[in-house]
Amino acid sequence: MGKSSRRSTATSSTTPSITPSARSAFFNSKSTPSPSVSEQKSARTSLINVLSRPRPTSAVSHLFAVSNEGFSPFDDDFDLSDQSTISSYASSISSTRHPSAEDVAQLYKDYLDKPFVNIKSTFKHSEFGHDNNPNWRWTSQWNPDEPIHPMVEIQPPYYVLLTTYISYLMFIVLGHIRDFFGKRFVPAHYAHLMSHNGYAALNSDFDSFYTRRLKKRIDDIFSRPVTGVAGRSIVVYDRYSNDEQDTFQYTGGKTRALNVSSYNYLGFASSSGGCADAVEVAIKRYGISSAGFRLDASTLDLHQQTEKLVARFVGAEAAMVISQGFATNSTTIPALVGKGCLVISDELNHASIRFGVRLSGASIRMFKHNDMKSLEKLLRECISQGQPRTHRPWKKILIIVEGLYSMEGSLVNLPQLIELRRRYKFYLYVDEAHSIGAIGPNGRGVCDYFGIDSREVDVLMGTFTKSFGAAGGYIAGSKELIDRLRVRSHAMCYAESMSPAVLTQIIASMGSIMGIAPPLASPAEEESDSVSIVSRHAVYGPAPASSLPTWLTLPTTLLNGTEGRERLRRLAFNSRYLSSGLRKLGFIVYGHRDSPIIPLLVFSPGKMPYFSQMMLKRIGVEKTPIVVVVVAYPATPLISSRVRFCLSASHTKNDIDMLLRACDEIADVLDLRYGKQTMTVDEVIASAEELVAANF
Amino acid sequence: MSSTAPTEIPTPLIPLLSLLSSAFLTLQSLFHRIPGSPIIVRYIKSSYQDDPYRSLLEVLLLAFAVRTLLQRRTGGEAEGKSFIKLTAKEIDELVDDWQPVALVEEPNELDAMILPTVPTIYGPNGIKVKTSPTGKSLLNMVTPNWTGLVENERLKQVAVETLHSYGVGTCGPAGFYGYIDVHMDFEQELANFIGTESSITYAQGFAAVSSCIPAFAKRGDIIVADRGCNFAIQKGLQISRSTIRWFAHGDMADLEKVLQSVERDLKRKGGKLTKKFIVAEGIFENDGMLLDLPKVMELKKKFKYRLMLDETYSIGMVGAHGKGLTEYYGVPAAEVDMIFGSMASSFGTGGGFCAGSSVVCSHQRINSSASVFSASLPALLTTTSSTALSILLTTPTLFTTLQSNVLTFRAQLSKLEAVPSVPPTSSPRPSLPVLPSSASSTESIPIGAQTPNKDAIIQIPSHPSSALMYIFLLNPPSTVEEEEALLQDVVDEVQTNGSILITRARRLRGQETFEPEPSLKVCVSAAMGKKDVEKAGQALRAALVKFCSSE
């Protein structure tokens, strides 16, 4: 059994150990076994588990083995093994194995007296949590038994819908009453809404009503200023408002909180480590700007190296990079389609896509979100009817979908789309802004996830903002396509080129996900893994060493792909765990369980500020503050306001446990369990691995 | 007339009627059993008595509501007039027959000329660059690097420091914990620098401009724009769906004429007061001309327009401290409603911005797509921009050096120009080289006739203080293809013989609102030595004479 305690190849040399909480978790799960779960698990073991977890016989024996061998009560690093916590006091508590009540009280007092304010974290793992339990890993891969997109969405009880509508109605009525009196008694506040001196109002009274009268009431939960790295934790500025959120005053204090809001899927947003060091070298070598337009004289060798690596990463012939993610869509789509072309777009596509399509002058039709039947019907209609009025055939039809929808957490039904593509001869444009790096066994996005050759997709688009901790976006496809776009895309001709610092961050993070061949040193204890980089699918193999700039050096764990793979598998576990856990707790959660974006439905607008504030102001022992994103209309349909969690490989299982507990507490206060609760939070935490492995 | 006629019922209908009446009675009794039904009946009765039209309206409303509810959200034109009903088989056949054109068409001659002529810079970009790993270094006169900030060591140092506190990416839009303290600080510093109340940063200059305009200008609003405006503005105008009126490039008299005609139109139509904007550039990206800002301000105030001024090139280039056109003319920046700009071209870093009143800026934080739906600017590009501001403020000599370099360069070319002494402001010019229609009139320039220059082969519409210059041929070959090829010869010649990197102006032919004429683009920097600039001017002159003067 000694084998099983082999270290996670991640970063630290700490002895793997099992924490008391995890042990109790194990006992809980043993006392309440779930037959259906274990049955399904065994079926799945044969397929994917082999790839995803190095467990010798079963979770049970493994846990015992680890706990017997590795659990060393006097190990100083014990607390760091898999529950490096964020806030100062919590971390100190867990390092004291048997804290007395006074200790806790003192630590807590210290914490309250001196909240953590330092930008430069003196604590370990504030940007990237260390988690070396090899069982808390998963491989993000399509399981044909699970539906890609639920046919029927779970609906909340009718009273929830009714009260939600009523609260909006009340907001609107109250807003109009306030506007009515406000305009008469305090016209100064409305100056910008009324025409004056012959100038029409800059903002229309009507257009800004929602912003002024609904969003403003809860403005303190939006756009909170932060500082430091948006990593596992983030430092939020404390602020308050004395004038109904017109302006905010800063107390000068800052709160370090668990960050489940940033798109830091693989945890590459960091101020230190291999990638940051590489960027530092690049800044010293190249400066910070490549100044000017790509087509003039701002194409650096670094741009070309990045583009080659990106193409390799996504499995396409060629790629080009653009300095902003939004602009990647909005300046490329007009270069692809124009008058006489038809764009068929998912109704929930991102604003940048709509921006680009509007610029292109092509006709646009929309289909119901992820509904392939509706799409096929629309395709048949559009092809058979041709262009409106003239009935001339369309020049070409471009279908634009997203790989992973940022507000829904739903994955595109790519297998069916590819089938439709063969029949209906349209061109397919997949926006992988969120899925690239976050989805798929090799992190190569939805094509990798579904096991589809990425050359089946005509245009692959993605961004570097999310998984790679950089900025900007890319377009990848055939060489012919990219060469054409280089001279037709607005951004290539008229927008600034990407900064060398950003390019290097992309190369370093992408290279470490892919692994660089030949590895300079053999990875530590690589034999534990059945998915070593050598055995990966040829398309998604390691990048040749020549694809890195010669001056760029990366630490061995990044270079051989170990780190990248671990991050992918941690992210996959975290996502599936939280998504499943929240469902079991009785929340309505949208999206696919493999999605790192997990929207939790709140519905009633009045509950949004409370949810956000209660998460941030969790005061109590072991209650680390959490920052969450709440989204409401117009980003979502009017009634389905939601809280959106974005998980990261930098989160540990402990962080997810904490998040589940926090949600569980808040659910009781705010009445958020719109679905059926089938497990208690302790049961969920105890059976994390079973939940992740189970199909449902 | 029979007396029994009104009551007579045909015998076959009697059972049917009795069935109907019994059914009606059953329904009635059922209805009465519903609690509250008498109230409804009373209400309908009384409302019918009081106002039968209201009842009718209510029924219609109900029918409309039901129809709306049943209508498909994404259905579209399926029920349209031109919709032809087809059988499944017919549709299958049509689907089989349909052949789309290729996703990308073959490049035409002009487009095919672009990629092979794009240089690759090996190593850092800056004043001296290499276009091959081992080649000689060339003087880079292509990239906007007015004050040499691109290679500034202090900026690099600040960038490294920021990197080790903030990382590279912000991993989210400003609304979702992507609004870092350094953004806040920079926005205030930038506003102070330019002289506005507030400012907002974007992750890209191009996107800032094309997304700011539609954040304010909506359908039904009026935009009066300069015909020479850059591509980002054109796209912003297109998205806004406003009514767009163009005025001749840099022609203030024409602007006034257009403003008057808009006013006349509005008076004639009456109706609600709409938002009206004038859109122009400080230094025009397409030809380097300078806007006559005082005149625009005068007209804007007279006709009650708001001014959107794109200072992407003028900030960091003109004015005693590089504060842009407002400083150049001494116009208070706060009077310009929106100032767009780019940190990439102005400060040698990256990103874009919009400066204006706090109302203008906070509106964009929620309503400008490129701000709401895009990750915020990386911290290290923000802090370095802050540093760049302080460098510009403390080193005004940069701008005197820049101006003298520009003059040195222009002096070398003046012998070839049709109008050697360009007036200090861009006075209305009869010829507008940016526009194709004006190309033919180039030969008959009255100004050119006043100062005859037999050797004239080029025209530089760029303002004498503009470090961004465009060189247009006075007697271009008959086709655009030939002209571009000729210009490329000039570019190659100065590169091989003078070790100077210049470029043809890159255009998106086929996508521009007004197709610009081919030209050469030259950027001068304060970081260039006077000798180098002089030599560059000579080399370019020699190349121009060599290729363009032989008719």
Check whether A470 has a pLDDT greater than 50: yes
Name the residue with higher pLDDT: B6 or A190: A190
Q: What is the pLDDT of residue B32?
A: 81
The full set of domain ranges for chain B reads 109-149+399-548, 168-394
Q: Does the distance separating the beta carbons of A424 and B168 come in below 8 Å?
A: no
The region that residue B195 occupies, defined by phi over 0 for left and psi between -120 and 50 for alpha, beta otherwise, is left
pLDDT confidence band for A82 (50 / 70 / 90): very low
Q: Between residues 214 and 233 of chain A, which touch chain B (CB distance below 8 Å)?
A: 215, 222-231
Q: How many CA atoms lie within 13 A of B549 on its CB side?
A: 16
Phi and psi angles of residue B511, each rounded to the nearest 5 degrees, phi first? -115, -10
Q: What residues are paired with A646 via a beta bridge? A: A597
Instruction: Dump pLDDT digits (tens) for B350-363.
Output: 999 999 999 999 99
Q: What is the DSSP code (8-state) at residue B279?
A: E
Q: Which strands sit side by side in the sheet containing A641-646, from one edge to the other?
A: A597-603, A641-646, A629-631
Q: What is the mean pLDDT of residues A437-453?
A: 93
Q: What is the mean pLDDT of residues A381-398?
A: 93
Residue A463, C-beta contacts closer than 8 angstroms, at least 6 positions apart: A325, A328, A433, A436, A472, A473, A474, B375
The strand pair at A629-631 and A641-646 is best described as antiparallel
Nearest to A491 among B206, B272, B342 (CB): B206
Query: A200 in contact with B at a CB cutoff of 8 Å?
Result: yes
Residues of chain B contacting A192 with CB distance shorter than 8 Å: 359
Which of A363-377, A673-687, B53-67, B104-118 is predicted least confidently?
B53-67
Q: What is the mean pLDDT of residues B52-60?
A: 80
Q: How far is CA A315 from the centre of its chain?
A: 22
Q: Does the distance separating the beta carbons of B230 and A263 come in below 8 Å?
A: no
- Interface A-B, measured as beta-carbon pairs within 8 A, has a size of 395
Q: How far apart are CA B208 and CA B308, in angstroms?
A: 12
Residues of chain B contacting A272 with CB distance shorter than 8 Å: 164
Q: How far apart are CA A411 and CA A432, in angstroms?
A: 10
Distance from CA of B228 to the nearest CA of A (A): 15
Q: What is the pLDDT of residue A212?
A: 84
Q: Does the distance separating the beta carbons of A389 and B82 come in below 8 Å?
A: yes
pLDDT confidence band for B194 (50 / 70 / 90): very high
Q: What is the mean pLDDT of residues B193-203?
A: 95
Q: What is the pLDDT of residue B73?
A: 57
Q: What residues are paired with A258 via a beta bridge? A: A233, A626
Q: Does the distance separating the beta carbons of B144 and A291 come in below 8 Å?
A: yes
Q: How far is CA A146 from CA A37, A581, A645, A696, in A?
A: 14, 17, 22, 7
Q: What is the mean pLDDT of residues B35-46?
A: 78
Distance from CA of B173 to the nearest CA of A (A): 9
Q: What is the pLDDT of residue A147?
A: 84
Q: How many CA atoms lie within 13 A of A416 on its CB side?
A: 15
Q: For B490-516, what is the HEC assignment?
A: HHHHHHHHHCEECEECCCCCCCCCCCC
Nearest to B151 among A275, A287, A330 (CB): A287
Check whether A111 has a pLDDT greater than 90: no
Number of H helices, E strands in chain B: 20, 15
Range A409-420 burial, b when 16+ CB lie within 10 A, else e: bbbbbbbbbbeb
Q: How far apart are CA B201 and CA B183, in angstroms?
A: 7
Tally of residues, chain A: 696
Q: What is the pLDDT of residue A125?
A: 77
Structure tokens at A121: 């974290």
Q: Which of the residues B106, B118, B177 would you substitute to probe the A interface, choosing the one with the greatest number of A C-beta atoms within 10 Å?
A: B177
Q: Does the distance separating the beta carbons of B125 and A291 come in below 8 Å?
A: yes
Check whether B6 has a pLDDT greater than 80: no
Distance from CA of A421 to the nearest CA of B (A): 12
Q: What is the mean pLDDT of residues B29-57?
A: 78
Q: Under DSSP, is residue B225 helix (H, G, I), strand (E, B) or coil?
A: strand
Q: What is the pLDDT of residue A20?
A: 40
Q: What is the pLDDT of residue A40?
A: 43
Check whether B439 has a pLDDT greater than 60: no
Distance from CA of A282 to the nearest CA of B (A): 9
Query: A334 in contact with B at a CB cutoff of 8 Å?
Result: yes
Q: How far apart are CA B224 and CA B307, in angstroms?
A: 10
Query: A455 in contact with B at a CB cutoff of 8 Å?
Result: no
Q: What is the pLDDT of residue A199?
A: 87
Whether cis (ω within 30° of 0) applies to the bond prior to A393 is no
Q: What is the mean pLDDT of residues A463-469?
A: 94
CB A229: neighbour CB atoms within 10 A?
Answer: 34
Instruction: Dump pLDDT digits (tens) for A577-608.
Output: 999 999 999 999 999 999 999 999 999 989 99
Residues of chain A contacting B207 with CB distance shorter than 8 Å: 324, 326-327, 330, 495
pLDDT confidence band for A69 (50 / 70 / 90): very low
Q: What is the DSSP code (8-state) at residue A232?
A: S
Q: How far is CA B497 from CA B139, B504, B547, in A?
A: 12, 17, 14
Q: How far is CA B193 from CA B144, B161, B189, in A?
A: 20, 23, 6
The domain B168-394 having CATH identifier 3.40.640.10: the answer here is: yes
Instruction: Dump pLDDT digits (tens) for A198-233.
Output: 888 888 777 788 888 888 888 888 889 999 999 999
Nearest to B115 among A237, A304, A483 (CB): A483
* C-beta of residue B348 within 8 angstroms of C-beta of residue A291: yes
Q: What is the mean pLDDT of chain A?
A: 80
Residues of chain A contacting B98 with CB distance shorter than 8 Å: 383, 393-394, 425
Q: What is the pLDDT of residue B8?
A: 67
The DSSP annotation for A21-57 comes to HHHHHHHHHHHS--HHHHHHHHHHIIIIIHHH---SS
CATH of A274-559, one of 3.60.110.10, 2.40.30.10, 3.40.50.620, 3.40.640.10: 3.40.640.10
pLDDT confidence band for A124 (50 / 70 / 90): low
Residue A130, C-beta contacts closer than 8 angstroms, at least 6 positions apart: A10, A11, A12, A14, A80, A81, A82, A84, A124, A652
Query: A454 in contact with B at a CB cutoff of 8 Å?
Result: no
Q: How far is CA A549 from CA A282, A298, A432, A474, A507, in A?
A: 10, 18, 26, 19, 9
Which of A142-151, A665-674, B64-73, B369-378 is predicted least confidently?
B64-73
pLDDT confidence band for B200 (50 / 70 / 90): very high
The full set of domain ranges for chain A reads 274-559
Q: Does the distance separating the beta carbons of A383 and B178 come in below 8 Å?
A: no
Whether cis (ω within 30° of 0) applies to the bond prior to A634 is yes
Q: What is the DSSP code (8-state) at residue B463?
A: -
Q: Between residues 82 and 141 of chain A, which touch chain B (CB distance below 8 Å)?
A: 119-120, 127
Residues of chain B contacting A119 with CB distance shorter than 8 Å: 165
Residue of A nearest to B76 (CA): A365
Q: Which strands sit side by side in the sheet containing B458-459, from one edge to the other?
A: B458-459, B468-473, B520-523, B503-504
Place of tokens 């100004």: B447
Instruction: Dump pLDDT digits (tens) for B112-168.
Output: 999 999 999 999 999 999 998 888 899 999 999 999 999 999 999 999 999 999 999
Of B50-59, B69-78, B294-303, which one has max mean pLDDT? Answer: B294-303
Check whether B46 has a pLDDT greater than 80: no
The DSSP annotation for B180-210 comes to BHHHHHHHHHHHHHHT-SEEEEES-HHHHHH
Which of A128-142, A298-312, B466-480 is predicted least confidently?
A128-142
Q: How far apart are CA A276 and CA A554, in angstroms?
A: 10
Check whether A136 has a pLDDT greater than 50: yes
Distance from CA of A202 to the nearest CA of B (A): 7
pLDDT confidence band for A196 (50 / 70 / 90): confident
Q: Does the distance separating the beta carbons of B144 and A236 come in below 8 Å?
A: no
Q: What is the pLDDT of residue B17?
A: 87
Check whether B373 has a pLDDT greater than 60: yes
Q: What is the mean pLDDT of residues A632-642?
A: 86
Q: What is the DSSP code (8-state) at residue A393?
A: P
The domain B109-149+399-548 having CATH identifier 3.90.1170.40: the answer here is: no
Q: What is the mean pLDDT of residues B475-486?
A: 91
AA identity, residue A215: K
